[in-house]
Chains A and B, each alone.
Chain A
Amino acid sequence: MLVASLEPLQYSIFILVAIAATAVVLTRDVQRQIVVNGFYGILLVILFVVFAAPDVALSMLAVSTVGYPLVVLIAIAKGRAK
């Protein structure tokens, strides 16, 4: 019942996710892109919670807070260093 009353929340989070995904793609500067991507990751985590999928949300949280940023930032730093 609680979730059913959250209809507007569901729709707004969907719209936000769609916008954030577009922003990730359209951000051509990779350093800025990783920031936007982190934001997108957090939105996905929220979306998964809204979907009643706490397991998936945990998975995404573990990955998007450390995994993606670490790997990508090092790749960027490596690319700059040369």
Chain B
Amino acid sequence: MTRRIRVAIFLPALGLFGVLLAWALVGIPDFGHYRGPYGYLLNRVALPERHMTNVVTSVVFDYRGFDTMGEEFILFAAVLGVVLLLRQGGREQPDELNDSVGSDGVRIGGVLAVGACVLVSLWLIAYGFVTPGGGFQGGAALASSVVLVFLVSSHKAWSGVASDHALDPFDGVGAGGYVVIGLGALIGGLPFLTNVLGPGVPGTLWSGGSAAFVNWSAGMEVAAANLILFTEFIDEYVVPLAAGDTAG
């Protein structure tokens, strides 16, 4: 089938699809007039019952914590998949790759920046139950800040920070920790993922109860998973480059 035939069949179908979609969308209650009841109920009860000021995080890690466990495992499985695909055939690590950034100023500034970003990320995870943030956002931010190490220093420094030997345990423990906390409640005779330690003190680090631990394990998992992913891609990029250097 040529491209022209494909587009000729596709455009009318897409038009019909769009019309149907629009027909559905105009049936939604007017913008800004959400009718509930789910969200309104949670907004009402989350603070009094769970002592968490950030309702979104309480939904993510407490009310619908089981969904989040599934999402976390999507991350986990996708990373396993990327590793499986990119690490086929046991790629060699380059011995030495002279790609360090020349200026000391850049390096010092970079290290400071990395430190600051890491601190902000940890703060995002820790105070997720109080202010915007939480394990998912903080974990992603943490991984992003560690990638800065690669950008401001050398590949050598990077591979010291992010090797799969160091990261895989975090990945596994983060994902497994979530399940173990859930199972803990189950062994105690309560439903899976029951928040046994809550409610905590509103506005503090411990406002989450045991959901705070869930939050931290999710943060660990998200950060480790993203870092493994970035490591795999960076190696994919750097290693052939290094091989090219030595050959040329």
| Chain A interface (Cβ < 8 Å from any Cβ of B) | 53-55, 57-59, 62-63, 65-67, 70-71, 74-75, 77-78, 81
B133 and A58 contacting across the interface, CB-CB below 8 Å: yes
Query: Which chain A residues border B233 with CB–CB below 8 Å?
Result: 70-71, 74-75
What count of chain B residues pass the 8 Å CB interface test?
24
| B236 touching A74, Cβ below 8 Å | yes
> Are the CB atoms of A55 and B147 closer together than 8 Å?
no
Within the complex, the shortest CB–CB distance from B17 to chain A, in Å, comes to 16
- CB-based contact A66/B147 at 8 Å: yes
Contact A70 B56 (CB under 8 A): no
16 contacts between A and B (CB under 8 A): A55-B57, A55-B132, A58-B133, A59-B136, A62-B137, A63-B140, A65-B144, A66-B143, A70-B230, A70-B234, A71-B233, A74-B234, A74-B236, A75-B233, A77-B237, A78-B240
CA distance in complex: A66, B124 (Å): 17
B237-A67 in contact (CB<8A): no
Contact A62 to B140, CB < 8 A, known contacts A71-B229, A78-B236: yes
Overall SS of chain B's interface? helix
Binding site for A on B (CB under 8 A): 54, 56-57, 124, 132-134, 136-137, 140-141, 143-144, 147, 226, 229-230, 233-234, 236-237, 240-241, 244
Those 4 A-B pairs whose CB atoms lie nearest each other, nearest first: A66-B144, A62-B140, A54-B132, A58-B137
- Are A74 and B237 interface neighbours, CB within 8 A? yes
Find chain B residues with CB under 8 A from A55 CB: 54, 56-57, 132-134, 137
